[in-house]
Each structure stands twice: as structure tokens, then as C-alpha cells.
Amino acid sequence: MTEPKLTYVALITRDTAAASHLLGDVLGLRQSLCPTEDGDVPVFAAGQSALALFAPGSRFVDGETRTGVHHIGLDPGAPPPTTDAPRTALGGGIRQPLPIMETAGVRVFLTPRLDIAHSSTPLIERIDHLGIASADNQAAIALFNGRLGLPVESQQTDVEVETVLESFTSDKYGVVYHSRTPRVVGGLRVAFLTAGDCDLEFLQNFDPSHGAALGHGTAGTTRQDQGAITKFIAAQGAGLHHVALKTPDIDEALGALEQSGARMIDRIGRPGSRRARIGFIHPASFGGVLFHLVQRDPI
């Protein structure tokens, strides 16, 4: 069985010009134009897959007006099974939707590969992963691995731990320090499944009783990341959440974005999953789409 590969990611942005400027002029991704029923749309090659930008209300994204990551196109490696609702694919041909109740909330279309030149740049190597707010990672693995054949790359649990240190200071007996048992204040269960040269990152709340508000505009923490996923699922349900681009030098790439006028959440890389350094860009910079950068070395 041929493993499916990511063909493209459909993004809905309220500011196509600003998003195109950051992806193309600042990060250097190669732009192509692909035809749709609403006219040509900008598509940016990132490794072996691509990012396609759509305006709110486009028919290609079913008239959706909410900004963010709308759906993914997967090349199944063979002609997809016929369904009752085939659609015109990006760039021509046919795309077949998979029932969203069978894909853990992720909108998926089986679609042929795009006829564009794939490439990397000095700042961006490829799409590293697509973040997915998950209600149940094991159910997602059963679907995407068991049914679609995506390999499981790795699984981990990210937690933020709070530790209290007490001190007892005496003029006669000196100082005694005592550490209390650490307390988990936030966490995520994470599962990565591979689709071509990109991974799907399923992010499940480690404990629904833990909550945290996301402080947009300030550097993130594991607890804030958990709070963002919790808030997203409460508002929209499980589904695609963000795009992560792989960079060889995260501080240089974040600096280039900041110098271009992009609004930042992280200005330098911070620790992330898979021994990576990560940094988020404020979604306002991309017209409502949340991006972050990842720098990590292969093991």
C-alpha cells in the first residue's frame, strides 16, 4: 500500500496580500497560481507540498468565512474511490472529500499532486507539521494510521510543572531547604503521523481540568499552548489549528519576519516538541492564520 502524501494545505486569510508578502518576499517561498472555480489562487511551494491561500467565502473552501487552516489535500498514491460528492481539485482534476466524522474533525480531500515546482529556501526547508486540536489521539491514530496508512512518527507528553521551594532560616541552625512534590499545571499529549515530508501533529489536552488563557503577543509556554488547544476545541471542535514551517535557523527567520513588520508572539526560539526550538507569529500577520517556525535536527 502506498502511503498518502500531503499535497497542499488550504488556508483562509482575510489579507491575501499580506500573507503572500510574508511567505514569498520575506521567507522566500516560490509562488505559483493555480486555477479554481473562483479564479486563480496563490500557492506557495514548501518542500514537497504547498500552502494555498483563499479569501473568506471562496467556493473552494465551501464558502467558509472563518479564517485559519481549512483543509488538507492528500495524494493517496492511487485513484481515490468514487464518492457521491466529487469536487474540482486545485489545479484541475477531481478531489474526493472524506467524511469529517471519520477523520477526527480534520477536513481531508483525496487529490492528485499539484503540477508546481517544489522547493526550499535559505529560511524555510518545508512544512514541518500541521497542528491539529485533538479530542482523542488514539482515535485519530486509529483513523489516520489504521485506515489511511500514515506511519506513526512518535508520541510524547508535554507538561509544565510547578515546584515550590521552602526555606527555614535560623540564626543558630542555619538554612534548611525543602521541596514540595511538583504539581502539573498544564500539559498536552502529542502524536505525530507522517504524510510525505510533513507530519500531522495531534494535540490532546492532558487533563481537561487544567485551563489557561492564551496570551497573544507574549512568548508562549506549555500551559499557554494547552490553553489554546482547550479554547479552540471548546469553540470550534477538533480540527486543523496551525501550520509549522521548518527552518535551519529559527532566530534568523523570526528576526526577518519581525523586521518586515510582522506582529510576533515569540521573538526568539523557545523549547518545543521533539527537541525542537519553536516560535509563533501572531495570526493577525497572516490575516487570521496561525503560523510558527520550527528548528530541529534529525535524530
Contact between residue 241 and residue 71 where contact means Cβ atoms under 8 Å apart: no
In the 3-class helix/strand/coil scheme, how is 30-63 assigned residue by residue?
CEEEEEECCEEEEEEEEECEEEEEECCCCHHHCC
Q: Is the dihedral of CA 242, 246, 251, 257 positive or negative?
A: negative
The 10 Å Cβ neighbour count of residue 62 is: 12
Report d(CA 165, CA 7) in Å as an integer: 51
Domain boundaries, the chain: 5-159+185-295
Instruction: Quote the percentage of the chain above a pLDDT of 90.
Output: 69
DSSP secondary structure string for all residues of 254-285: HHHHHHTT--BS-SS-EEEGGGEEEEEEPGGG
- As a whole number, mean pLDDT of residues 193-206 equals 94
The 10 Å Cβ neighbour count of residue 266 is: 21
Residue 210 has pLDDT above 80, yes or no: no
**Residue 224: what pLDDT?**
54
CATH code for residues 5-159+185-295: 3.10.180.10
pLDDT digits (tens, 9 = 90+) for 229-257: 888 888 889 999 999 999 999 999 999 99
Residue 208 has pLDDT above 70, yes or no: no
Model confidence at 159, in pLDDT bands (50, 70, 90)? Answer: confident
Q: What is the largest CA-CA distance in the chain?
A: 84
**Residue 214: what pLDDT?**
38
Task: Kindly report which listed range (19-28, 54-63, 149-158) carries the lowest average pLDDT score.
Answer: 149-158
Residue 226 has pLDDT above 60, yes or no: no
pLDDT digits (tens, 9 = 90+) for 7-41: 999 999 999 999 999 999 999 999 999 999 889 99
Residue 212 has pLDDT above 50, yes or no: no
What single-letter DSSP state applies at residue 190?
A: E
- For the chain, give the mean pLDDT: 89
Model confidence at 84, in pLDDT bands (50, 70, 90)? Answer: low
Residue 195 has pLDDT above 90, yes or no: yes
Task: Kindly report which listed range (91-95, 140-144, 175-179, 264-268) carries the lowest average pLDDT score.
Answer: 91-95
Model confidence at 223, in pLDDT bands (50, 70, 90)? Answer: low
**Residue 1: what pLDDT?**
56
**Residue 216: what pLDDT?**
43
